[in-house]
Each structure stands twice: as C-alpha cells, then as structure tokens.
C-alpha cells in the first residue's frame, strides 16, 4: 500500500498545456518534461508534449549548484517544483519560479542529435525515434490524434458500428494492390506438392494468406446486418512506389452503408471530410497556426510560380465553407483535353477516354482548374474493381461504373469509393470476366444471395488526410514510423 501511494504522489504533476491556459499566480505546482533550451544558467524552456508552447522555468541564481546546472542540457528530463508567477517575458503570461529541480534523466549534449535549431525533415526522418520532440512533429502528431478521435466521434454520432475487419486475409480478390505474404513455412525448404509448387495446405492457416489491402469486403458483410458500419485500421500494399503519397503500411477508414446510392455516398464523404477539418480547427488551433506559419516560410523559399495560392488555414477554411465540385470522368477527360497544359504538351502521360488518370491529371483538375476538392464519378469499368456497380444504359465498349474518387489539392486522390454491384448475376459475370474465382468468394456472394440491397462505401486514406490538414508534403512525415520500399527502421 505504502509504495503504491508514493508512486501516485510522484505523478501529481500539472500538464504544461493546462498550466499555461489556466495557471494562477501564487499556485504551487510540479511539472515534468524535457529541456528544449537553457539560457543564461537561469531560463529553462520545458516541454512535455501536451502543447508546442514551452513553459519558462526560472531558476534563481544560487538555487542550483554548478554540477546540477551543467546537467540541464537540451533533451534532459526534469521534475520541477515551483511557484507560478506572472511573466514579464514575451509570448507567455505566466512562468514557473523553481524551488526545486530534480534531473530525471541526463542527455549528453555532445551526442544528442536534436539541437535547438531548424533541422531538415530528411534528417529528422533518420531519427524518427526522436523527432516527436520537435515543434513540427509535436503539432503533426497531436493533429493526427485529433483526426483519429474525430473519425470515431463522427461515425458514433451517426450510429455506425465500428467493425474490426481482419488484418490477415485469405482473399486477394480486392485487387487494390500487391500483397505481403503471411506464412510460417520455412524459406529454405518449403513443403511441395507433386507438381513442385509450394503446398500451402501445410502452412499455418492451411492455405495461402496475406496482409489485407482493405477491409471493405468484410465491411460489406457487416453492413448487410447493421446497415451502417465503418472500419479503421492498418492496410498493407507491397507496391514499389516511392512517392510522397504512398506507404506500404497505411491506415484507412472505410464506411460501408446499406440503402445508400452513389449520391448518398458522396454526400457522406464530403460531410465527413469537412467535419474532420472543422474538428481540428476547433481543437488544435495552436498546432494549426504553427504549421500555417511553417508552411508559409517553406513557400517563401520556392519560386513564385510554384507557390500555393492559399495558406494552410485559408485552405482549410475554404474547404469547410464551400461544397466540393462534382464531375463525371467523361467531363474530367474533356477538361484535360481542352486544357492549355494538354495543348502545350505539358502532361507526361497521354490523355484519352479510358485512361487511369495520373497524378499530374488529377492535380491539374483540382489545383489549376477547379481550385477545390473534386468528386469524380462514372469511371470506365475496365480500370476499376469488380465490385463496383455497372451503370445502366452505357454505350457498348464504354461501360462505366458508379465509382467516386475524391481528389484534393496538393494530394490528389484522397478517397476512393463506389456504389456496389448488388445484382448477383451482374456481379458474377463481372468476376468471371476478371478471372476471380467464384468458389473462393462464395462468402462474399452470399450477401447478394440472401437479402441483397443497394449499398455503397468508400475508403479515406488516413495519412493523406493528415497530410491535407497539416500541409506536410511527404507522407513519411505524418505517420510515426513509415514503412516504404527498403525502409523499415524503428
Ligand atoms: O482507392 P483505394 O485503393 O480503395 C479501396 O481500397 C477501397 N476498398 C475503398 C472502399 O471503397 N472501401 O484506397 C482508398 C484510399 C485512397 O483513396 C488513398 O487515399 C489511400 O486509400 N491509399 C493510400 N494511402 C497511402 N499509401 C498507399 N499506398 C495508398 N493506397 C491507397
Ligand atoms: Mg483508388
């Protein structure tokens, strides 16, 4: 008993965020955190990650001996007891006059890689285990947290059921990307069948398994009972993409709704994105304004014609205040064909009806033409997944599906979704044409056999959403520990 009580005393600390927002002069308090800077042997800027704003701790001359003063270095962790006093310094209303300073953990100034100066994002990626301690990553990851919380809040308020779809899957029908194999078979000498192929019957699950690329197919099973569900979990794609918007492991939010058509789907996705942005604007104002300034400084380094038109906060406000543009794929292609960029041969990839639009095309539409998020519907069936609903009355050879992608300025595709094909015969025909084994997918087809209903859903790439809200240009900077080709540190 005695021991646990003492431990509880140890944690009678005030968070720096709470102290800065409501600290009253005269109050005795304990804070703990890491030293950002130490000036004149007297002023410690202390940070505990609750906010980017440091608490100024003042140690009066004579309070600490020389040996202790030497140990107050950038990165060291401290427990400080003191009295809250009004601050004369700029940018803060209070500070802490220390009565006692305890060093919890030393940080060798010679070896600590984070110095109180601006480091490049590339350098910080190499020390991702320490980068949370910088202002930029503090702001990004508090916002990431808020976004995740807001995702659950949004769907909970709407009565959606949060369904945890599996991470290991035996189905590779989704076709969303290359998969990572999951196996316990020995590499050097796997069991083989008579024809020489590997015998997965001997594998852990008795069949070939992979990490999931999406929770959608299982999500549809849930929607056929709860009407409205969402998944929010990690997904894995083994594509060799080294871009600023691809990860091999990323998080995706996938709502799936019975009794929704493509229109309902678009409305929900738009409302959802605007809700998430509003939530962060309301709850992370300090972090957003820090990132807004950061981005403004970054933009200043660029040549005029490459600069973005809007600042971060302006952009976010604009997106919440204005509805998204809605166009068909056919219209999008026509806009591209009519564009000065196309006429001046500025696009690297060709434009014609039937192409899978490249990032340069998507960015032209949102950044140059519409200057706002755009929802594109009615994509050619040939370039989309088997489960998307075939549009009726298409010209032969020009079949389209009820797909909808949302394209965002600076990001490109942020949402991919569709109304699903609920008609069994049409779905089977499509699967056969795409060589998807009906047998293996019989559990999925059962939803169309027993009480099928019109339904729809979409997937929001969580990291791309965090990029959009924080203005970070590289997706590796919005996930704690990025997994990309040839990169799996930490
Ligand atoms: O367009 P995708 O592939 O759609 C699906 O997986 C559907 N099953 C979703 C659904 O209808 N339930 O992926 C959805 C989103 C993309 O729009 C993009 O934002 C993100 O996931 N995404 C990635 N994000 C980071 N790294 C990658 N490699 C990504 N691939 C897709
Ligand atoms: Mg997509």
pLDDT given at position 293? 97
How long a stretch of residues is the chain?
490
Residue 204 has pLDDT above 60, yes or no: yes
Of the pLDDT bands very low, low, confident and very high (cuts 50, 70, 90), residue 392 is: very high
pTM (two decimals) = 0.96
Residue 110 has pLDDT above 80, yes or no: yes
Of the pLDDT bands very low, low, confident and very high (cuts 50, 70, 90), residue 5 is: low
Question: Strand, coil or helix: what is 198?
Answer: strand
Residue 8 has pLDDT above 70, yes or no: no
Q: Give the number of the ligand closest to the Cα of residue 254.
A: 1
Instruction: Measure the CA–CA gap between 275 and 3, rounded to whole angstroms.
Output: 46
pLDDT given at position 22? 84
Question: Strand, coil or helix: what is 298?
Answer: helix
Instruction: Measure the CA–CA gap between 176 and 235, rounded to whole angstroms.
Output: 11
List beta partners, residue 81: 30, 100
Residue 91 has pLDDT above 90, yes or no: no
pLDDT in tens, 237-256: 999 999 999 999 999 999 99
The pLDDT of 124-145, averaged and rounded, is 96
pLDDT given at position 24? 84
Which atom number of ligand 1 is nearest to the Cα of residue 464? 19
The pLDDT of 421-438, averaged and rounded, is 95
Within 339-409, residue ranges assigned H as helices are: 340-343, 359-363
Cβ pair 219, 163 in contact under 8 A:
yes
Which atom number of ligand 1 is nearest to the Cα of residue 246? 26
* Most informative mutation of 389, 461, 482 for ligand 1 (most atoms within 8 A of CB): 461
pLDDT given at position 174? 73
> What are the backbone dihedrals phi and psi of residue 393, each rounded to the nearest 5 degrees, phi first?
70, 30
CA atoms within 13 A on the CB side of 3: 0
Distance from the alpha carbon of residue 99 to the mean position of ligand 2, in angstroms: 58
Which has the closest alpha carbon to 417: 454, 459, 375?
Answer: 459
Beta strands at 77-86 and 325-328: parallel, antiparallel or unpaired = unpaired
Q: How many CB atoms lie within 10 A of CB 305?
A: 5
Cβ pair 216, 459 in contact under 8 A:
yes
Residue 430 has pLDDT above 60, yes or no: yes
Within 158-183, residue ranges assigned H as helices are: none
Of the pLDDT bands very low, low, confident and very high (cuts 50, 70, 90), residue 9 is: low
Find all residues with CB under 8 Å of 67, minimum gap 6, and list them: none
Cβ pair 357, 412 in contact under 8 A:
no
pLDDT given at position 308? 82
The pLDDT of 445-474, averaged and rounded, is 98
Instruction: Measure the CA–CA gap between 400 and 418, rounded to whole angstroms.
Output: 12
Within 23-134, residue ranges assigned H as helices are: 66-71, 121-126
Residue 2 has pLDDT above 60, yes or no: no
Q: Give the number of the ligand closest to the Cα of residue 485.
A: 1
Instruction: Measure the CA–CA gap between 424 and 210, rounded to whole angstroms.
Output: 27
pLDDT given at position 268? 98
Which atom number of ligand 1 is nearest to the Cα of residue 465? 19
Question: Strand, coil or helix: what is 116?
Answer: coil
Distance from the alpha carbon of residue 452 to the mean position of ligand 2, in angstroms: 25
* Most informative mutation of 234, 459, 464 for ligand 1 (most atoms within 8 A of CB): 459
pLDDT given at position 88? 81
pLDDT in tens, 216-236: 999 999 999 999 999 999 999
pLDDT given at position 177? 73
Within 339-441, residue ranges assigned H as helices are: 340-343, 359-363, 424-433
pLDDT in tens, 331-365: 999 999 999 999 999 999 999 999 999 999 999 99
pLDDT in tens, 164-173: 999 999 987 7
Q: What are the angstrom distances between the C-alpha of 447 and each of 75, 91, 111?
A: 56, 60, 60
Mean pLDDT across the chain: 94
Instruction: Measure the CA–CA gap between 352 and 436, rounded to whole angstroms.
Output: 28
Cβ pair 299, 473 in contact under 8 A:
no
Residues with CB under 6 A from ligand 1: 176, 214, 216, 237, 246-247, 250, 252, 254, 413-417, 457-459, 461, 463-464
- Nearest residue (CA) to ligand 1, atom 24: 461
Find all residues with CB under 8 Å of 89, minimum gap 6, and list them: 56, 95
Radius of gyration of the chain (CA): 27
């Amino acid at each position: 008993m005695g021991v646990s009580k003492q431990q509880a005393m140890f944690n009678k600390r005030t968070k720096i965020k709470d102290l800065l927002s409501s600290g009253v002069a005269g109050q005795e308090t304990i804070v703990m955190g890491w030293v950002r800077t130490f000036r004149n042997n007297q002023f410690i800027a202390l940070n505990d990650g609750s906010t980017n704003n440091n608490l100024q701790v003042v140690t009066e001359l004579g309070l600490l001996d020389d040996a202790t003063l030497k140990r107050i270095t950038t990165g060291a962790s401290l427990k400080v007891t003191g009295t809250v006093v009004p601050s004369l310094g700029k940018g803060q209303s209070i500070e802490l006059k220390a009565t006692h300073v305890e060093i919890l953990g030393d940080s060798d100034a010679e070896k600590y890689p984070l110095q109180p100066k601006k480091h490049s994002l590339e350098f910080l990626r190499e020390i991702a285990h320490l980068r949370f301690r910088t202002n930029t990553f503090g702001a990004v990851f508090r916002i990431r947290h808020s976004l995740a919380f807001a995702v659950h809040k949004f769907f909970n308020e709407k009565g959606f059921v949060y369904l945890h779809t599996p991470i290991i899957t035996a189905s590779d029908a989704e076709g969303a990307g290359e998969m990572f194999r999951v196996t316990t078979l020995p590499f050097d000498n796997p069991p083989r069948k008579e024809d020489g192929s590997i015998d997965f019957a001997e594998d852990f699950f008795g069949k070939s398994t992979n990490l999931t690329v999406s929770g959608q197919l299982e999500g549809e099973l849930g929607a056929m009972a709860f009407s409205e569900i969402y998944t929010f979990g990690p997904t894995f794609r083994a594509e060799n993409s080294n871009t600023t918007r691809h990860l091999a492991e990323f998080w995706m939010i996938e709502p799936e709704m019975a009794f929704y058509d493509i229109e309902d789907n678009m409305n929900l996705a738009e409302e959802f994105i605007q809700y998430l942005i509003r939530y962060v604007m309301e709850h992370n104002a300090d972090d957003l304004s820090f990132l807004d300034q950061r981005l403004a400084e970054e933009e200043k380094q660029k040549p005029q014609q490459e600069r973005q038109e809007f600042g971060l906060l302006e952009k976010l406000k604009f997106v919440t205040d204005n509805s998204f543009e809605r166009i068909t794929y056919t219209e999008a292609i026509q806009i591209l064909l009519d564009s000065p960029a196309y006429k001046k041969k500025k696009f690297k990839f060709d434009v014609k009806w039937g192409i899978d639009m490249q990032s340069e095309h998507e960015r032209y539409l949102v950044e140059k033409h519409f200057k706002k998020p755009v929802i594109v519907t009615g994509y050619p069936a040939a370039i989309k997944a088997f489960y998307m609903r075939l549009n009726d009355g298409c010209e032969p050879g020009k079949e389209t599906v009820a797909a909808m992608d949302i394209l965002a300025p600076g990001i490109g595709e942020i949402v991919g979704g569709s109304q699903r094909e609920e008609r069994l015969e049409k779905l089977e025909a499509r699967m056969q044409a795409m060589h998807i084994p009906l047998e293996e997918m019989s559990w999925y087809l059962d939803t169309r056999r027993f009480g099928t209903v019109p339904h729809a859903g979409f997937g929001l790439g969580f990291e791309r959403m965090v990029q959009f809200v924080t203005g970070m240009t590289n997706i590796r900077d919005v996930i704690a520990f990025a997994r990309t080709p040839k990169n799996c540190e930490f």
